[in-house]
Amino acid sequence: MSDVEAWVREFARSVVAEAPRLTELDSAIGDADHGANLSRGLTAVVAALEDSSFPDDGALLKKVGMVLVSTVGGASGPLYGTFFLRAAGSIGDGFPAAFRAGVDGVAARGKAAPGDKTMLDTLVPAAEALAAGKDWAAVVDAADAGRDATIPLVARKGRASYLGERSAGHLDPGATSAALLVTAAAVTLGA
């Protein structure tokens, strides 16, 4: 198994393990489905990885993206799907480049930026730490700090934005699942 496949599988494992907590976070400022959405999608991803073999990591990541887009309803399916589809196109240039391309794809697709209280608050600082050549512990710290910084923010994108000021004081669910994506990378690619 390639390191990239191990990363995807570890992300799937951690999302399934944390699904109740992700859904609880989404119950506070969304519609209580983030854990269910992502665990359904990533369970389908793991099934697809079992069923097929891939010539390279680009093909594998493309499959991951397509499965997420087709199995996850809600905002997070197209956004994580776009992340993996865009990462697929750049994995030949190395993990930091692929991660950056994925994050840029999420920002373009969701028309969001850091500070909007979304997964990008986690993903952008992680991409910057990777680009700066930081070690994995520092990359995880950057992601976790970005996640935690969503607590006081007022959401400007997604369902949480419907709450206006009442969205402040809560951790963003997508920022929390995105931190699992980064930790999964550190555990598998940084090992």
Supply the minimum distance, in Å, between the C-beta of residue 133 and Mg ion: 35
The pair of three-digit structure tokens given for residue 54, joined into one six-digit string: 């891939």
Binding-site string for ligand ADP from residue 10 to residue 49, where x marks contact by CB under 6 A and - marks none: ----------------x---xx-xx--x------------
Site residues for ligand ADP, 47-66, by CB under 6 A, read none
Cα–Cα distance measured from residue 14 to residue 127, given in angstroms and rounded to the nearest whole number: 20
With CB atoms as reference, the residue minimizing the distance to ligand ADP is: 174
Q: Does 124 bind ligand ADP (CB under 6 A)?
A: no
172 binds, among Mg ion, ligand ADP, none (CB under 5 to 8 A by kind): ligand ADP
- Which amino acid makes up residue 96? P
Supply the minimum distance, in Å, between the C-beta of residue 178 and ligand ADP: 7
Site for ligand ADP (CB under 6 A): which residue of 86, 147, 157, 170? Answer: 157
Residue ranges in contact with Mg ion by CB under 5 A? 26, 30-31, 33-34, 74
- Which amino acid makes up residue 121? D
Cα–Cα distance measured from residue 69 to residue 77, given in angstroms and rounded to the nearest whole number: 5
| Sign of the torsion angle spanned by Cα atoms 174, 175, 177, 181 | positive
**Residues engaged in binding ligand ADP (CB under 6 A):** 26, 30-31, 33-34, 37, 74-76, 79, 106, 110, 112, 118-120, 157-159, 172-175
